Structure 1
């Protein structure tokens, strides 16, 4: 059986593993949100940034991309993803059903936010998110770069996300 991974943020533009197939997909009951304080990749303990996470919400739908892992590469891909995504244990590794655009329904490895984790910061106003993203920088670079790359790749895939578009425009304006 094919192992799928659901991408909704940086996995869209930097999966970091070999992808055998990709397909537009929808994950029900979750939405993409800058609801995780980043103290490693896009911020520091002193000045946390924000990264996207899947936040559970009744009736929500997150549009993203399902990425199929080549047969025989499942274990190394999981090892890589766990090292990348579980660095601070704010994400929970789950397997959830996603609906592919072509009508298939597949189980996908999905990293969702732990709402009880200290890095969780759901429901921050967009302006506050923009202020944080504009100034934060971590081990993987500026927080704004993460936002801009994700927003650009969502547009390329034809996925609309009004909040990310607003944030990208606002942060660009703040940075001049």
Structure 2
């Protein structure tokens, strides 16, 4: 992120929730510089031992980390996290997944990635996988990160429990 070289992209404010009494819709306005990350995995082209290695050694560790962020992420600055399995037009699962999370700040995301035991475990499992297979690895990984200005974001909820998305942050 080029702006991150000259701006710490620190959060401005805290999440605020407003309820429309007529509709019951709750609107959450997060702080400025909310950090969003989508981190994906695709194992469509893996076969045999490579597929077994990913599904047996890497994916369970990844899932555990995603579950931690979903259930206990507030303690490390993660407002909300969802680990999603991509489906096709019939609803059948594909060999693709991604985690999508909203963070209080890029610094909180970085701190979790650098030193939290759940991410350290994910990183170690991925590095073992990649070092075992080298350039022949067919697993595709990606990370998309964005930081959003205040006023350019809001999240709306109707009939949701209080741990849904950013509701748990207010």
TM-score above 0.5, yes or no:
no
Q: Which has the higher strand share?
A: 1
TM-score band, normalised by shorter chain: under 0.3
Q: Which has the higher helix share?
A: 2
Question: Which one has the largest radius of gyration?
Answer: 2
Give TM-score, length-normalised by structure 2: 0.27
Higher RCO, 1 or 2 (CA under 8 Å, sep at least 6)? 2
Give TM-score, length-normalised by structure 1: 0.26
